[in-house]
Structure 1
Amino acid sequence: MKPDEFAIRYGPVALVTGASSGIGRAFAECLAARGMDLVVVARRTQRLEELATQLRRKYTVNVTVCPADLARPDAAQTILDATAPLDVGLLVSNAGFGFKGAFDGGDPQAMADVLMVNCHTPMLLARGFVPRLRQRGRGGILFTSSVEGLIGCPYSATYAASKAFVNSLGEALWAELAADGISVLTLCPGATDTEAPRLQGIDPATLRHLMSPEVVAALALDQIDNGPIYIPSEHYRASFGQLLAMPRRDALLAMARSMKR
Protein backbone atom coordinates (compact mmCIF):
# COMPACT_ATOMS: atom_id res chain seq x y z
CA MET A 1 0.00 0.00 0.00
CA LYS A 2 1.46 3.37 -1.02
CA PRO A 3 1.73 6.05 1.68
CA ASP A 4 -1.08 8.17 0.22
CA GLU A 5 -3.32 5.08 -0.04
CA PHE A 6 -2.52 4.19 3.58
CA ALA A 7 -3.46 7.70 4.75
CA ILE A 8 -6.74 7.61 2.84
CA ARG A 9 -7.75 4.28 4.35
CA TYR A 10 -6.50 4.77 7.91
CA GLY A 11 -6.33 8.55 8.17
CA PRO A 12 -6.62 11.34 8.63
CA VAL A 13 -5.59 10.85 12.29
CA ALA A 14 -3.79 8.02 14.06
CA LEU A 15 -3.57 7.63 17.83
CA VAL A 16 -0.44 6.03 19.31
CA THR A 17 -0.10 5.10 22.98
CA GLY A 18 3.34 4.69 24.50
CA ALA A 19 4.63 7.18 21.94
CA SER A 20 7.39 8.70 24.06
CA SER A 21 9.94 5.97 23.30
CA GLY A 22 10.67 2.66 21.62
CA ILE A 23 8.23 1.06 19.21
CA GLY A 24 5.56 3.67 19.98
CA ARG A 25 7.83 6.54 18.99
CA ALA A 26 8.78 4.61 15.84
CA PHE A 27 5.09 4.13 15.00
CA ALA A 28 4.52 7.88 15.34
CA GLU A 29 7.42 8.65 13.00
CA CYS A 30 6.31 6.06 10.42
CA LEU A 31 2.74 7.32 10.42
CA ALA A 32 3.79 10.96 10.11
CA ALA A 33 5.97 9.96 7.16
CA ARG A 34 2.84 8.49 5.57
CA GLY A 35 1.11 11.86 5.87
CA MET A 36 -1.09 11.18 8.88
CA ASP A 37 -1.91 13.59 11.68
CA LEU A 38 -1.29 12.16 15.13
CA VAL A 39 -2.44 11.99 18.70
CA VAL A 40 0.52 10.88 20.84
CA VAL A 41 -0.12 9.47 24.30
CA ALA A 42 2.25 8.69 27.19
CA ARG A 43 3.02 9.77 30.75
CA ARG A 44 6.15 11.78 29.93
CA THR A 45 4.78 15.08 28.68
CA GLN A 46 8.14 16.67 27.88
CA ARG A 47 9.13 13.77 25.63
CA LEU A 48 5.77 13.95 23.86
CA GLU A 49 6.16 17.70 23.29
CA GLU A 50 9.66 17.19 21.87
CA LEU A 51 8.39 14.43 19.58
CA ALA A 52 5.45 16.55 18.45
CA THR A 53 7.72 19.50 17.60
CA GLN A 54 10.05 17.24 15.63
CA LEU A 55 7.26 15.60 13.63
CA ARG A 56 5.51 18.88 12.87
CA ARG A 57 8.73 20.36 11.48
CA LYS A 58 9.83 17.30 9.55
CA TYR A 59 6.54 16.14 8.05
CA THR A 60 4.21 19.19 8.28
CA VAL A 61 1.54 17.20 10.11
CA ASN A 62 -0.70 18.11 13.02
CA VAL A 63 0.27 16.44 16.30
CA THR A 64 -1.91 16.52 19.41
CA VAL A 65 -0.19 15.76 22.71
CA CYS A 66 -2.34 13.80 25.17
CA PRO A 67 -0.52 13.08 28.45
CA ALA A 68 -2.04 10.11 30.28
CA ASP A 69 -0.97 7.46 32.77
CA LEU A 70 -2.39 4.24 31.36
CA ALA A 71 -2.16 2.59 34.78
CA ARG A 72 -5.04 4.80 35.96
CA PRO A 73 -8.52 3.27 35.71
CA ASP A 74 -9.84 6.39 33.95
CA ALA A 75 -7.03 6.62 31.37
CA ALA A 76 -9.03 5.17 28.47
CA GLN A 77 -11.94 7.54 29.03
CA THR A 78 -9.56 10.49 29.27
CA ILE A 79 -8.13 9.59 25.86
CA LEU A 80 -11.54 8.95 24.33
CA ASP A 81 -12.81 12.31 25.55
CA ALA A 82 -9.72 14.12 24.24
CA THR A 83 -10.10 12.57 20.78
CA ALA A 84 -13.87 12.96 20.44
CA PRO A 85 -13.60 15.91 17.99
CA LEU A 86 -10.99 14.15 15.82
CA ASP A 87 -11.48 11.71 12.94
CA VAL A 88 -9.22 8.95 14.27
CA GLY A 89 -8.98 6.15 11.73
CA LEU A 90 -6.19 4.12 13.31
CA LEU A 91 -5.72 3.13 16.95
CA VAL A 92 -2.19 1.93 17.73
CA SER A 93 -2.50 0.52 21.24
CA ASN A 94 1.20 0.12 21.86
CA ALA A 95 1.94 1.07 25.48
CA GLY A 96 2.98 -1.76 27.74
CA PHE A 97 5.58 -2.93 30.22
CA GLY A 98 6.68 -5.96 32.20
CA PHE A 99 9.35 -7.39 34.43
CA LYS A 100 11.29 -10.61 34.82
CA GLY A 101 11.86 -12.79 37.87
CA ALA A 102 10.26 -15.44 40.05
CA PHE A 103 6.51 -14.93 40.28
CA ASP A 104 6.44 -14.92 44.08
CA GLY A 105 9.08 -12.18 44.13
CA GLY A 106 7.00 -9.76 42.08
CA ASP A 107 5.71 -6.55 43.60
CA PRO A 108 1.90 -6.77 43.88
CA GLN A 109 1.36 -3.15 42.82
CA ALA A 110 3.61 -3.60 39.78
CA MET A 111 1.62 -6.71 38.85
CA ALA A 112 -1.63 -4.76 39.09
CA ASP A 113 -0.16 -1.96 36.98
CA VAL A 114 0.90 -4.45 34.28
CA LEU A 115 -2.70 -5.63 33.99
CA MET A 116 -4.00 -2.06 33.84
CA VAL A 117 -1.53 -0.87 31.21
CA ASN A 118 -1.31 -4.04 29.11
CA CYS A 119 -4.92 -5.30 29.34
CA HIS A 120 -7.51 -3.01 30.93
CA THR A 121 -6.74 0.24 29.11
CA PRO A 122 -6.20 -1.33 25.64
CA MET A 123 -9.50 -3.21 26.00
CA LEU A 124 -11.44 -0.07 26.92
CA LEU A 125 -9.73 2.00 24.22
CA ALA A 126 -10.78 -0.59 21.65
CA ARG A 127 -14.29 -0.61 23.11
CA GLY A 128 -14.47 3.14 22.70
CA PHE A 129 -13.04 3.32 19.19
CA VAL A 130 -14.79 0.39 17.52
CA PRO A 131 -18.16 2.23 17.23
CA ARG A 132 -16.36 5.25 15.77
CA LEU A 133 -14.52 3.11 13.23
CA ARG A 134 -17.71 1.27 12.30
CA GLN A 135 -19.46 4.58 11.74
CA ARG A 136 -16.72 5.80 9.39
CA GLY A 137 -16.73 2.46 7.51
CA ARG A 138 -12.99 1.98 7.46
CA GLY A 139 -9.96 2.09 9.73
CA GLY A 140 -7.81 -0.14 11.86
CA ILE A 141 -6.63 -1.23 15.29
CA LEU A 142 -3.07 -2.35 15.94
CA PHE A 143 -2.18 -3.92 19.28
CA THR A 144 1.44 -4.32 20.33
CA SER A 145 1.76 -7.65 22.13
CA SER A 146 4.80 -9.96 22.38
CA VAL A 147 5.95 -13.43 21.42
CA GLU A 148 5.70 -14.09 25.16
CA GLY A 149 1.94 -13.93 24.75
CA LEU A 150 2.07 -17.11 22.66
CA ILE A 151 2.88 -19.34 25.65
CA GLY A 152 3.10 -18.95 29.41
CA CYS A 153 6.71 -17.86 29.91
CA PRO A 154 8.28 -18.96 33.20
CA TYR A 155 9.94 -16.12 35.12
CA SER A 156 7.85 -13.70 33.05
CA ALA A 157 4.47 -14.99 34.19
CA THR A 158 2.55 -11.75 34.70
CA TYR A 159 3.80 -10.13 31.51
CA ALA A 160 3.22 -13.27 29.42
CA ALA A 161 -0.30 -13.64 30.81
CA SER A 162 -1.10 -10.00 30.05
CA LYS A 163 0.10 -10.38 26.47
CA ALA A 164 -1.88 -13.60 26.04
CA PHE A 165 -4.94 -11.47 26.88
CA VAL A 166 -3.92 -8.97 24.17
CA ASN A 167 -3.47 -11.77 21.62
CA SER A 168 -6.91 -13.21 22.36
CA LEU A 169 -8.53 -9.78 22.28
CA GLY A 170 -6.89 -8.96 18.95
CA GLU A 171 -7.84 -12.28 17.37
CA ALA A 172 -11.46 -11.95 18.48
CA LEU A 173 -11.76 -8.40 17.17
CA TRP A 174 -10.09 -9.36 13.89
CA ALA A 175 -12.89 -11.86 13.29
CA GLU A 176 -15.68 -9.59 14.58
CA LEU A 177 -14.66 -6.59 12.48
CA ALA A 178 -13.47 -8.31 9.29
CA ALA A 179 -16.73 -7.54 7.47
CA ASP A 180 -16.81 -3.90 8.60
CA GLY A 181 -13.77 -2.62 6.72
CA ILE A 182 -11.73 -2.47 9.94
CA SER A 183 -8.31 -4.14 9.98
CA VAL A 184 -7.06 -5.59 13.28
CA LEU A 185 -3.46 -6.70 13.72
CA THR A 186 -1.74 -7.94 16.85
CA LEU A 187 2.00 -7.38 16.63
CA CYS A 188 4.18 -9.91 18.49
CA PRO A 189 7.78 -8.69 18.46
CA GLY A 190 10.70 -10.56 19.91
CA ALA A 191 13.77 -8.83 21.30
CA THR A 192 13.68 -5.16 20.30
CA ASP A 193 16.21 -2.42 21.00
CA THR A 194 14.07 -0.25 23.30
CA GLU A 195 14.20 0.89 26.92
CA ALA A 196 12.24 -2.19 27.99
CA PRO A 197 15.15 -4.67 28.28
CA ARG A 198 17.21 -2.17 30.27
CA LEU A 199 14.31 -1.49 32.64
CA GLN A 200 14.11 -5.25 33.23
CA GLY A 201 17.83 -5.39 34.06
CA ILE A 202 18.81 -6.90 30.71
CA ASP A 203 21.73 -5.56 28.69
CA PRO A 204 20.45 -5.36 25.06
CA ALA A 205 23.97 -6.20 23.90
CA THR A 206 23.46 -9.70 25.31
CA LEU A 207 20.32 -10.28 23.23
CA ARG A 208 20.56 -12.11 19.94
CA HIS A 209 18.40 -11.32 16.91
CA LEU A 210 17.68 -7.84 18.26
CA MET A 211 15.48 -5.74 15.95
CA SER A 212 15.27 -1.96 15.78
CA PRO A 213 11.94 -0.39 16.78
CA GLU A 214 11.85 1.46 13.46
CA VAL A 215 11.96 -1.78 11.47
CA VAL A 216 9.36 -3.43 13.75
CA ALA A 217 6.94 -0.51 13.38
CA ALA A 218 7.36 -0.24 9.61
CA LEU A 219 6.84 -3.97 9.09
CA ALA A 220 3.74 -3.95 11.29
CA LEU A 221 2.14 -1.11 9.34
CA ASP A 222 2.92 -2.90 6.08
CA GLN A 223 1.19 -6.03 7.41
CA ILE A 224 -1.86 -4.38 8.99
CA ASP A 225 -4.22 -6.04 6.48
CA ASN A 226 -2.74 -9.47 7.16
CA GLY A 227 -3.94 -10.19 10.69
CA PRO A 228 -4.72 -11.49 13.11
CA ILE A 229 -1.19 -12.14 14.48
CA TYR A 230 2.12 -10.94 13.07
CA ILE A 231 5.63 -11.85 14.28
CA PRO A 232 8.10 -9.53 12.52
CA SER A 233 11.25 -11.54 13.30
CA GLU A 234 12.04 -14.56 11.15
CA HIS A 235 14.10 -15.97 14.02
CA TYR A 236 11.25 -15.74 16.52
CA ARG A 237 8.72 -17.05 14.01
CA ALA A 238 10.88 -20.15 13.58
CA SER A 239 11.85 -20.62 17.23
CA PHE A 240 8.33 -20.19 18.60
CA GLY A 241 6.97 -22.36 15.81
CA GLN A 242 9.26 -25.16 17.03
CA LEU A 243 8.44 -24.46 20.66
CA LEU A 244 4.69 -24.53 20.13
CA ALA A 245 4.98 -27.78 18.18
CA MET A 246 6.45 -29.49 21.25
CA PRO A 247 4.30 -31.11 23.95
CA ARG A 248 3.27 -28.20 26.18
CA ARG A 249 4.85 -29.62 29.34
CA ASP A 250 8.18 -30.15 27.61
CA ALA A 251 8.12 -26.67 26.08
CA LEU A 252 7.38 -24.99 29.41
CA LEU A 253 10.06 -26.89 31.31
CA ALA A 254 12.61 -26.14 28.59
CA MET A 255 11.75 -22.45 28.79
CA ALA A 256 12.03 -22.48 32.58
CA ARG A 257 15.52 -23.98 32.40
CA SER A 258 16.58 -21.46 29.77
CA MET A 259 15.16 -18.44 31.62
CA LYS A 260 16.64 -19.54 34.94
CA ARG A 261 20.11 -19.61 33.37
Structure 2
Amino acid sequence: MDNVDFKDKYGPVALVTGASSGIGKAFADVLAAMGLDLVLVARRLDRLEKSAAKLSQEHGVQVRSVQIDLSAPTATQQMLDATGALEIGLVVSNAGFGMKGAHADNDPQAMAEMLMVNCHVPMQLAHGFIPRLRRRGRGGIIFTSSVEALMGCPYSAAYSASKALVKSLGEGLWAELQPDGIDVLTLCPGATESEAAANQGIDMSTLPEVMSAEEVARLTLENLANGPVFISSEYYRATFETLLAMPRRDALMAMAGQMRR
Protein backbone atom coordinates (compact mmCIF):
# COMPACT_ATOMS: atom_id res chain seq x y z
CA MET A 1 0.00 0.00 0.00
CA ASP A 2 1.53 3.32 -1.05
CA ASN A 3 1.22 6.49 1.00
CA VAL A 4 -1.81 7.76 -0.95
CA ASP A 5 -3.77 4.54 -0.43
CA PHE A 6 -2.66 4.35 3.22
CA LYS A 7 -3.84 7.90 3.88
CA ASP A 8 -7.16 7.23 2.14
CA LYS A 9 -7.87 4.22 4.33
CA TYR A 10 -6.32 5.26 7.63
CA GLY A 11 -6.24 9.05 7.36
CA PRO A 12 -6.64 11.90 7.25
CA VAL A 13 -5.82 12.05 10.98
CA ALA A 14 -4.15 9.53 13.28
CA LEU A 15 -4.28 9.57 17.08
CA VAL A 16 -1.15 8.34 18.87
CA THR A 17 -0.96 7.87 22.64
CA GLY A 18 2.35 7.76 24.47
CA ALA A 19 3.75 9.91 21.66
CA SER A 20 6.45 11.77 23.60
CA SER A 21 9.08 9.02 23.36
CA GLY A 22 9.89 5.49 22.25
CA ILE A 23 7.62 3.57 19.89
CA GLY A 24 4.87 6.17 20.19
CA LYS A 25 7.13 8.97 18.98
CA ALA A 26 8.36 6.70 16.21
CA PHE A 27 4.77 6.02 15.10
CA ALA A 28 4.22 9.77 14.90
CA ASP A 29 7.39 10.28 12.87
CA VAL A 30 6.54 7.58 10.33
CA LEU A 31 2.88 8.58 9.99
CA ALA A 32 3.79 12.24 9.45
CA ALA A 33 6.24 11.21 6.72
CA MET A 34 3.33 9.35 5.08
CA GLY A 35 1.29 12.56 5.05
CA LEU A 36 -1.17 11.97 7.89
CA ASP A 37 -2.17 14.75 10.25
CA LEU A 38 -1.73 13.82 13.89
CA VAL A 39 -3.11 14.15 17.38
CA LEU A 40 -0.33 13.37 19.83
CA VAL A 41 -1.18 12.47 23.43
CA ALA A 42 1.13 12.20 26.45
CA ARG A 43 1.84 13.84 29.80
CA ARG A 44 4.92 15.78 28.73
CA LEU A 45 3.52 18.70 26.74
CA ASP A 46 6.92 20.27 26.10
CA ARG A 47 8.10 17.16 24.26
CA LEU A 48 4.87 16.88 22.29
CA GLU A 49 5.03 20.48 21.16
CA LYS A 50 8.66 20.15 20.14
CA SER A 51 7.86 17.04 18.12
CA ALA A 52 4.75 18.66 16.63
CA ALA A 53 6.70 21.69 15.41
CA LYS A 54 9.38 19.50 13.86
CA LEU A 55 6.92 17.21 12.07
CA SER A 56 4.85 20.10 10.77
CA GLN A 57 7.92 21.84 9.39
CA GLU A 58 9.42 18.74 7.81
CA HIS A 59 6.29 17.14 6.37
CA GLY A 60 3.72 19.92 6.08
CA VAL A 61 1.18 18.11 8.24
CA GLN A 62 -1.04 19.46 10.98
CA VAL A 63 -0.14 18.19 14.44
CA ARG A 64 -2.15 18.79 17.59
CA SER A 65 -0.58 18.19 21.01
CA VAL A 66 -2.88 17.07 23.82
CA GLN A 67 -1.54 16.82 27.36
CA ILE A 68 -3.34 14.06 29.27
CA ASP A 69 -2.36 11.90 32.22
CA LEU A 70 -3.50 8.51 30.97
CA SER A 71 -3.64 7.10 34.48
CA ALA A 72 -6.57 9.43 35.24
CA PRO A 73 -10.09 7.91 35.04
CA THR A 74 -11.21 10.68 32.69
CA ALA A 75 -8.31 10.27 30.23
CA THR A 76 -10.23 8.44 27.51
CA GLN A 77 -13.13 10.86 27.55
CA GLN A 78 -10.66 13.74 27.29
CA MET A 79 -9.24 12.19 24.12
CA LEU A 80 -12.69 11.61 22.65
CA ASP A 81 -13.67 15.20 23.39
CA ALA A 82 -10.43 16.61 21.97
CA THR A 83 -10.93 14.77 18.67
CA GLY A 84 -14.68 15.14 18.28
CA ALA A 85 -14.41 17.48 15.28
CA LEU A 86 -11.67 15.48 13.54
CA GLU A 87 -11.86 12.56 11.15
CA ILE A 88 -9.67 10.04 12.94
CA GLY A 89 -8.95 7.09 10.68
CA LEU A 90 -6.24 5.42 12.74
CA VAL A 91 -6.07 4.98 16.51
CA VAL A 92 -2.65 3.99 17.84
CA SER A 93 -3.12 2.95 21.46
CA ASN A 94 0.53 2.76 22.34
CA ALA A 95 0.98 4.28 25.80
CA GLY A 96 2.05 1.91 28.53
CA PHE A 97 4.66 1.18 31.14
CA GLY A 98 5.95 -1.77 33.11
CA MET A 99 7.88 -2.84 36.16
CA LYS A 100 10.43 -5.57 36.66
CA GLY A 101 11.28 -7.51 39.79
CA ALA A 102 9.54 -9.65 42.39
CA HIS A 103 5.80 -9.04 42.40
CA ALA A 104 5.74 -8.64 46.19
CA ASP A 105 8.15 -5.72 45.88
CA ASN A 106 5.99 -3.72 43.45
CA ASP A 107 4.42 -0.50 44.64
CA PRO A 108 0.62 -1.00 44.87
CA GLN A 109 -0.18 2.50 43.58
CA ALA A 110 2.17 2.06 40.64
CA MET A 111 0.45 -1.23 39.77
CA ALA A 112 -2.96 0.45 39.90
CA GLU A 113 -1.74 3.19 37.57
CA MET A 114 -0.22 0.60 35.25
CA LEU A 115 -3.56 -1.15 34.92
CA MET A 116 -5.23 2.15 34.06
CA VAL A 117 -2.69 3.04 31.38
CA ASN A 118 -2.02 -0.44 29.98
CA CYS A 119 -5.52 -1.92 30.16
CA HIS A 120 -8.28 0.57 30.88
CA VAL A 121 -7.25 3.15 28.28
CA PRO A 122 -6.95 0.73 25.30
CA MET A 123 -10.28 -0.89 26.15
CA GLN A 124 -12.17 2.38 26.54
CA LEU A 125 -10.40 4.08 23.64
CA ALA A 126 -11.49 1.30 21.28
CA HIS A 127 -15.02 1.46 22.69
CA GLY A 128 -15.18 5.19 21.99
CA PHE A 129 -13.68 5.17 18.51
CA ILE A 130 -15.26 2.05 16.99
CA PRO A 131 -18.57 3.82 16.24
CA ARG A 132 -16.68 6.65 14.53
CA LEU A 133 -14.63 4.22 12.42
CA ARG A 134 -17.75 2.26 11.51
CA ARG A 135 -19.39 5.43 10.24
CA ARG A 136 -16.37 5.99 8.00
CA GLY A 137 -16.53 2.40 6.77
CA ARG A 138 -12.77 2.01 7.01
CA GLY A 139 -9.82 2.67 9.30
CA GLY A 140 -7.57 0.94 11.78
CA ILE A 141 -6.64 0.40 15.41
CA ILE A 142 -3.16 -0.52 16.63
CA PHE A 143 -2.59 -1.78 20.16
CA THR A 144 0.94 -1.98 21.54
CA SER A 145 1.26 -5.11 23.66
CA SER A 146 4.47 -7.11 24.22
CA VAL A 147 5.98 -10.52 23.63
CA GLU A 148 5.50 -10.87 27.38
CA ALA A 149 1.78 -11.15 26.62
CA LEU A 150 2.40 -14.55 25.06
CA MET A 151 2.82 -16.23 28.45
CA GLY A 152 3.10 -15.28 32.10
CA CYS A 153 6.61 -13.94 32.68
CA PRO A 154 8.23 -14.39 36.10
CA TYR A 155 9.60 -11.20 37.67
CA SER A 156 7.39 -9.26 35.27
CA ALA A 157 4.11 -10.83 36.29
CA ALA A 158 1.89 -7.74 36.58
CA TYR A 159 3.17 -6.17 33.37
CA SER A 160 2.92 -9.47 31.53
CA ALA A 161 -0.67 -9.88 32.70
CA SER A 162 -1.61 -6.36 31.64
CA LYS A 163 -0.21 -6.89 28.16
CA ALA A 164 -2.00 -10.24 27.89
CA LEU A 165 -5.26 -8.32 28.28
CA VAL A 166 -4.23 -6.01 25.45
CA LYS A 167 -3.41 -8.95 23.19
CA SER A 168 -6.73 -10.67 23.91
CA LEU A 169 -8.60 -7.40 23.38
CA GLY A 170 -6.91 -6.85 20.04
CA GLU A 171 -7.52 -10.39 18.82
CA GLY A 172 -11.20 -10.26 19.72
CA LEU A 173 -11.72 -6.87 18.09
CA TRP A 174 -9.87 -7.96 14.96
CA ALA A 175 -12.52 -10.61 14.34
CA GLU A 176 -15.40 -8.31 15.33
CA LEU A 177 -14.36 -5.46 13.06
CA GLN A 178 -13.21 -7.29 9.93
CA PRO A 179 -16.71 -7.10 8.38
CA ASP A 180 -16.69 -3.33 8.92
CA GLY A 181 -13.49 -2.72 6.98
CA ILE A 182 -11.59 -1.79 10.14
CA ASP A 183 -8.16 -3.36 10.56
CA VAL A 184 -6.96 -4.19 14.06
CA LEU A 185 -3.36 -5.11 14.74
CA THR A 186 -1.79 -5.92 18.09
CA LEU A 187 1.93 -5.22 18.12
CA CYS A 188 4.02 -7.49 20.34
CA PRO A 189 7.53 -6.03 20.25
CA GLY A 190 10.58 -7.66 21.75
CA ALA A 191 13.48 -5.65 23.16
CA THR A 192 13.19 -2.12 21.77
CA GLU A 193 15.25 0.98 22.44
CA SER A 194 13.18 3.24 24.69
CA GLU A 195 13.17 5.40 27.79
CA ALA A 196 10.65 3.03 29.33
CA ALA A 197 13.21 0.24 29.48
CA ALA A 198 15.76 2.50 31.14
CA ASN A 199 13.13 3.65 33.65
CA GLN A 200 12.62 0.01 34.63
CA GLY A 201 16.33 -0.34 35.30
CA ILE A 202 16.95 -2.47 32.22
CA ASP A 203 20.42 -2.29 30.70
CA MET A 204 19.65 -2.59 26.99
CA SER A 205 23.24 -3.58 26.26
CA THR A 206 22.61 -6.88 28.06
CA LEU A 207 19.67 -7.83 25.82
CA PRO A 208 19.96 -9.64 22.48
CA GLU A 209 18.60 -8.31 19.20
CA VAL A 210 17.44 -4.89 20.38
CA MET A 211 15.43 -3.11 17.68
CA SER A 212 15.09 0.62 17.12
CA ALA A 213 11.69 2.15 17.81
CA GLU A 214 11.62 3.50 14.26
CA GLU A 215 12.01 0.04 12.75
CA VAL A 216 9.29 -1.38 15.00
CA ALA A 217 6.86 1.39 14.04
CA ARG A 218 7.59 1.13 10.34
CA LEU A 219 7.18 -2.65 10.24
CA THR A 220 3.96 -2.43 12.24
CA LEU A 221 2.40 0.06 9.85
CA GLU A 222 3.47 -2.06 6.89
CA ASN A 223 1.64 -5.02 8.46
CA LEU A 224 -1.45 -3.16 9.65
CA ALA A 225 -3.75 -5.15 7.36
CA ASN A 226 -2.15 -8.47 8.36
CA GLY A 227 -3.69 -8.91 11.82
CA PRO A 228 -4.49 -9.97 14.36
CA VAL A 229 -1.01 -10.08 15.96
CA PHE A 230 2.38 -8.87 14.76
CA ILE A 231 5.61 -9.80 16.54
CA SER A 232 8.12 -7.29 15.20
CA SER A 233 11.26 -9.21 16.17
CA GLU A 234 12.08 -12.46 14.41
CA TYR A 235 14.45 -13.34 17.25
CA TYR A 236 11.86 -12.95 19.99
CA ARG A 237 9.21 -14.62 17.87
CA ALA A 238 11.43 -17.69 17.61
CA THR A 239 12.35 -17.52 21.29
CA PHE A 240 8.75 -17.54 22.45
CA GLU A 241 7.76 -20.20 19.94
CA THR A 242 10.38 -22.40 21.58
CA LEU A 243 9.15 -21.56 25.08
CA LEU A 244 5.51 -22.14 24.17
CA ALA A 245 6.35 -25.53 22.71
CA MET A 246 7.83 -26.63 26.05
CA PRO A 247 5.79 -27.98 28.98
CA ARG A 248 4.58 -24.78 30.64
CA ARG A 249 6.16 -25.58 34.01
CA ASP A 250 9.56 -26.09 32.38
CA ALA A 251 9.26 -22.90 30.34
CA LEU A 252 8.31 -20.81 33.37
CA MET A 253 11.13 -22.17 35.50
CA ALA A 254 13.62 -21.55 32.70
CA MET A 255 12.44 -17.95 32.38
CA ALA A 256 12.56 -17.44 36.15
CA GLY A 257 16.12 -18.71 36.30
CA GLN A 258 17.16 -16.43 33.46
CA MET A 259 15.55 -13.40 35.11
CA ARG A 260 17.26 -14.13 38.44
CA ARG A 261 20.62 -14.23 36.69
Q: TM-score range by the shorter chain?
A: over 0.9
- The DSSP-based 3-state class of the residue aligned with 1:8 is helix
Aligned counterpart, 2:217: 217
Letter of the 1:35 partner, please give it.
G
Instruction: Please state how far the C-alpha of 1:233 moved relative to its aligned partner.
Output: 0.6
Aligned counterpart, 1:100: 100
Does residue 110 (structure 1) correspond to residue 140 (structure 2)? The answer is: no
1:10-37 per-position Cα deviation (integer Å, ceiling 9, x unaligned): 0000000000000000000100011000
- The DSSP-based 3-state class of the residue aligned with 2:193 is coil
Question: Residues 149-164 of structure 1: matches in 2 within 5 Å?
Answer: 149-164=149-164
1:85-114 per-position Cα deviation (integer Å, ceiling 9, x unaligned): 000000000000001000000000000011
TM-score, scaled to structure 1: 0.99
Instruction: Please state how far the C-alpha of 1:197 moved relative to its aligned partner.
Output: 1.5
Q: Paired residues, what number? A: 261
Question: Residues 194-205 of structure 1: matches in 2 within 5 Å?
Answer: 194-205=194-205
Instruction: Please state how far the C-alpha of 1:154 moved relative to its aligned partner.
Output: 0.4
Deviating more after overlay: 82-91 vs 204-213: 204-213
Aligned counterpart, 1:246: 246
Letter of the 1:50 partner, please give it.
K
Aligned counterpart, 2:25: 25
- The DSSP-based 3-state class of the residue aligned with 1:226 is coil
Aligned counterpart, 1:172: 172
Aligned counterpart, 1:66: 66
Letter of the 2:260 partner, please give it.
K
Instruction: Please state how far the C-alpha of 1:247 moved relative to its aligned partner.
Output: 1.1
Aligned counterpart, 1:46: 46
Alpha carbon RMSD of aligned pairs, Å? Answer: 0.5
Instruction: Write the distance in 2 (CA, Å) between the matches of 1:123 and 1:245.
Output: 30
1:54-109 per-position Cα deviation (integer Å, ceiling 9, x unaligned): 00000000001111010001100000000000000000000000010000000000
Instruction: Write the distance in 1 (CA, Å) between the matches of 2:25 and 2:106.
Output: 28
Deviation >6 Å, runs of 4+ = none
- The DSSP-based 3-state class of the residue aligned with 1:193 is coil
Instruction: Please state how far the C-alpha of 1:206 moved relative to its aligned partner.
Output: 1.5
Aligned counterpart, 2:183: 183
- The DSSP-based 3-state class of the residue aligned with 1:104 is helix
Aligned counterpart, 1:82: 82
Q: Calculate percent identity across the aligned residue pairs.
A: 64
Instruction: Please state how far the C-alpha of 1:253 moved relative to its aligned partner.
Output: 1.0
Instruction: Please state how far the C-alpha of 1:222 moved relative to its aligned partner.
Output: 0.2
Aligned counterpart, 1:4: 4
Deviating more after overlay: 247-256 vs 150-159: 247-256
Letter of the 1:118 partner, please give it.
N
Does residue 135 (structure 1) correspond to residue 135 (structure 2)? The answer is: yes
Instruction: Please state how far the C-alpha of 1:160 moved relative to its aligned partner.
Output: 0.2
- The DSSP-based 3-state class of the residue aligned with 1:89 is strand
Instruction: Please state how far the C-alpha of 1:260 moved relative to its aligned partner.
Output: 1.0
Instruction: Write the distance in 2 (CA, Å) between the matches of 1:17 and 1:199.
Output: 18
